[in-house]
Amino acid sequence: QVSLVDSGGGLVQAGGSLRLSCATSGRTFSSYVGGWFRQAPGKEREFVAAISRSGDSTYSVDSMKGRFTIFRDNAKNTVYLQMNSLKPEDTAVYYCAAGSNFRTRRAEDYPYWGQGTQVTVSS
pLDDT digits (tens, 9 = 90+) for 49-95: 999 999 999 999 888 878 999 999 999 999 999 999 999 999 999 99
Q: Output the pLDDT for position 84.
A: 96
Which among 81, 83, 66, 79 is positioned nearest to 121, based on CA atoms? 83
Strand, helix or coil for residue 68: strand
Q: Output the pLDDT for position 66.
A: 87
Which among 27, 30, 75, 70 is positioned nearest to 50, based on CA atoms? 70
Buried b / exposed e across 23-49, counting CB within 10 Å, b at 16+? bbeeeebeebbbbbbbeeeeeebbbbb
